[in-house]
Structure 1
Amino acid sequence: MQTKSERFINKVPEVTLVFWLIKMMSTTVGETAADFLIFNLHLGLSMTSLLMGGVLIVTLLIQLFSTRYVPWKYWLAVVLVSIFGTLITDNLTDQVGVPLAVSTGVFTVLLMATFRVWYVQEKTLSIRAIDTRKRELFYWSAILVTFALGTAAGDWVSEGMDIGYMHATLLFGGLIAATAVAFYWFRINAVLAFWITYVLTRPLGASIGDWLSQSEKHGGLGLGVTNTSLVFFACIILLVIYQSWPQRARDEV
């Protein structure tokens, strides 16, 4: 049982259109930024993984020790989790040789196990109740697994099944639309709809990132990882600033 002094204000933003836009673009940045660090800066997969793992730990500590939702802290953590989640799957595929289908299955089981333990301990999976340190640790654990799962599933579909980045984008976009229909018209559980959408936005964003950045020979538009990363990162910054203005206004009252 958490005492009153151990609780804090919910540290997750409201689920709005802006939330989903930033989430989707953070997944795109995660996909393209990882490629940029590995190939353009020639850091290699192992060095990039160690570097981003260290930066992620520091960023998560900043987020965890905050007592309320601060847009730049939260979304910086999401972007870095996106990059590191991508690198986890890339390491399993490229360094260990684990097939993408196997990674997808393993991460699905791991995510279900995380949700199970979270629910048994806290009796809720709602992101409206991330108001204790324990719940926040469960939340970020689940987020990391969703990014690794989304990377594996997205790569498995677009590359392993050879349907191409554009078709993968349409597929995952269609699944998200179907989830929205199930939520608004058939009233499926809100928490279930949220987490399904959260998982699906990862392969959607990755497919969009690959479609935009990869060469035409590989089924993309040839914009390059640098341009794609910069454009989406700039959009994220603008949307986070937009989210920060109401927060600042409330703090000044």
Structure 2
Amino acid sequence: MTTDHLTDDRPPRHARQVASKVPEVTVYFWMIKVLTTGMGETASDWLARLFGPIPAVGLGGMALVVALVVQFAARRYVAWIYWTAIVMVSVFGTMAADVLHVGLGVPYTLSTPFFMAALAAVFALWYRSEGTLSIHSIDTRRRESFYWAAVLATFALGTAAGDLTATIGFGYLGSAVLYAAAIAVPAVAHRWGGLNAVTAFWVAYVITRPLGASVADWMAVGHSRGGLGLGLGPVTLSWTVAILGFVGYLAASRKDIRHDAACSDARFPPSEAAVNRRAG
């Protein structure tokens, strides 16, 4: 599932140009994305138990700010910088959804549509300002800001949605099966139903959050709650190791860098095929 085509990908004249700041969408992208969602879910709960909810939120917020500062300061996409930021968004997005439910008593039936509306607002402002939601157009600071705002909203929405289905009868395993089936819908609709690639990408992106979180929760919680009982700490650490392995591989192989971006890094003009692909 790619997001190469949407009308008017040209940045405004006054916007500051930057190199591509996001990875190519490959199978590795989706694998790491699901891993970060699950790791963020269990890490958030684990940190809350270790330090208490308020200190955990403070630590998570500070770590997120640092990760995003480094990401924005980078001149182009760097695997470990980008995925560190995604991990911290996952951890803090989980905390944001949990604060509404646990701290403020907001039910998931309200927080889920709230975060859905927040994400819709980000997309509306982004499209109105830039004329595109394609992740392959993240080449200005403003577009990068919209992108990360959308990412944070998707994680909060996915957390609330996953907890909602888990508490209304599906359980963690049932929720995992539900979202595993749901994530195939945008892929099939894009491949055979004519669904726009950008829309298909963002729908799948949202669904990866409750999918990964449900699987991780199922592995971590005790048998009395229908889980494997492995514990929050071991699940968090094992998924972190998996993330590090995949990101290390991508950093070495550069399989997640678009061909035209690689040419640009090497100070060569993009190939005719790359230009045509970008225009399409």
Offset at residue 2 of structure 1 (A): 3.5
Query: Secondary structure of the equivalent of 1:169?
Result: helix
- Counterpart CA distance in 2 for 1:153 and 1:141 is 18
Q: Which amino acid aligns with 2:30?
A: W
1:242 paired residue number: 249
Q: Is the contact between residue 26 and residue 79 of structure 1 (CA under 8 Å) also seen in structure 2?
A: yes
Q: Which residue number in structure 2 is paired with residue 131 of structure 1?
A: 139
Please name the residue that 2:59 is paired with: 51
RMSD: 1.7
Aligned residue type for 1:186: G
3-state SS of the aligned residue for 2:169?
A: coil
Aligned to 1:219: 226
Instruction: Note the 1:20-169 alignment, pairs <5 A.
Output: 20-39=30-49, 41=50, 43-159=51-167, 161-169=168-176
Does the CA contact (< 8 Å) of 1:2 and 1:132 recur in 2?
Answer: no
Aligned-residue offset at 1:36: 1.1
Aligned length in residues: 249
Q: TM-score, normalised by structure 2?
A: 0.86
Are the counterparts in 2 of residues 8 and 68 from structure 1 also a CA contact under 8 Å? Answer: yes
**Partner Cα separation in structure 2 for residue 247 and residue 202 of structure 1:** 25
CA contact under 8 A between 1:31 and 1:86: conserved in structure 2? yes
CA distance in 1, matches of 2:121, 2:141: 19
Are 2:188 and 1:186 equivalent residues in the alignment?
A: no
Counterparts of 1:57 and 1:2, CA distance in 2: 28
Please report the TM-score for the alignment, with normalisation by the length of structure 1: 0.95
Kept after mapping to 2: 8 A contact 1:212/1:220 = yes
Letter in 2 for 1:47: P
Q: Which whole-Å CA distance do the structure 2 matches of 1:217 and 1:110 have between them?
A: 35
**Residue 18 of structure 2 corresponds to which residue in structure 1?**
8
Q: Is the 8 A contact 1:104 1:152 kept in 2?
A: yes
CA deviation digits over 1:38-93, x for unaligned, max 9? 11x2x111110011101110110000011100000000000000000000010000
CA distance in 2, matches of 1:2, 1:146: 29
Cα drift, residue 163 of structure 1: 1.3
Confirm or deny: 8 A CA contact 1:24 1:202 kept in the other structure: yes
Match of 1:220, SS state, is coil
Partner of 1:176: 183
Corresponding residue for 2:212? Answer: 205
| Structure 1: segments with no counterpart, 5+ residues | none
| Structure 2 gaps, min length 5 | 1-11, 268-280
